[in-house]
């Protein structure tokens, strides 16, 4: 069995609206193992995005702990947490989050530049992997939704992260482009032993998969 890369214990997340408390996560415990694909299934509003934002250091839990290689994220300074997000994790979002004024190639290299790494050759290699070498000088508005998501996937890999979180990566795509994205994810998982945590509401995408969890009413259970 692969080693545990990242795990959380009894994670809770509450939001306060006026005098009311909205319990989004109710004591979630989860292990993500190196080199594995893990799927978290749930309907809209079930807390899937909240959970991976906490696991990836974008948000902090109300209660509970998150560990990366047995190091607690809540022990990290703001500077160390920012470095963790930049170097250890990659994110692929439903709405791409590309910078509209920058070219495809420039969007991909940004995380590397933040880490003070000039990964220009690697950006070209990643563009080739996702099949967009001929689009490197295009701006985001010149691409289709499927192409935008492939750019986002390449950007997530530029710093060789330990784990990539995908938040509804095919939520805005048609069936054909969804298949392209998931084929790329599976290929990267197999060829690079890359760890992925993917959240989705699409039941068909997790059929016959291992490592599938369901998040419902703030409670995570293994399928």
**For the chain, first and last CA: distance in Å?**
19
CATH class for the domain made up of 36-60+74-222: alpha beta
pLDDT tens digits, residue range 99-128?
Answer: 999 999 999 998 888 777 778 898 999 999
Give the pLDDT of residue 61: 95
Looking at the predicted structure, is the pLDDT value of residue 23 above 90?
yes
Sheet of 212-216, strand order: 89-92, 163-167, 195-200, 37-41, 212-216, 219-222
Q: 17: pLDDT confidence band, cut at 50, 70 and 90?
A: confident
Give the pLDDT of residue 1: 65
pLDDT tens digits, residue range 135-156?
Answer: 999 999 999 999 998 999 999 9
- DSSP assignment of 63-100 equals EEEEEETTEEGGGS-HHHHHHHHHHTEEEE-TT----T
């Amino acid at each position: 069995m692969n080693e545990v890369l990242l795990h959380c214990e009894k994670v809770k997340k509450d939001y306060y609206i006026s005098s009311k408390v909205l319990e989004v996560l109710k004591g979630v415990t989860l292990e993500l193992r190196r080199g594995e694909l893990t799927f978290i299934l749930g309907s809209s509003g079930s807390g899937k995005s909240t959970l991976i934002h906490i696991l990836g250091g974008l948000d902090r839990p109300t209660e509970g702990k998150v560990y990366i290689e047995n190091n607690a994220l809540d022990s990290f300074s703001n500077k160390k947490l920012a470095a963790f997000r930049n170097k250890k994790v990659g994110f692929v979002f439903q709405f791409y989050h590309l910078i509209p004024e920058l070219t495809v190639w420039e969007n991909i290299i940004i995380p590397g530049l933040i880490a003070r790494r000039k990964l220009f050759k690697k950006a070209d290699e990643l563009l080739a992997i996702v099949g967009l070498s001929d689009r490197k000088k295009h701006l985001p508005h010149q691409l289709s939704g499927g192409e935008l998501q492939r750019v986002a996937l390449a950007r997530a890999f530029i710093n060789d992260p330990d784990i990539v979180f995908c938040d509804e990566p095919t939520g805005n795509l048609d069936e054909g482009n969804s298949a392209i994205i998931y084929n790329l994810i599976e290929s990267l998982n197999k060829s690079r032993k890359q760890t992925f945590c993917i959240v989705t509401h699409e039941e068909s995408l997790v059929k016959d998969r291992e490592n599938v969890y369901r998040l419902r009413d703030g409670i995570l259970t293994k399928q």
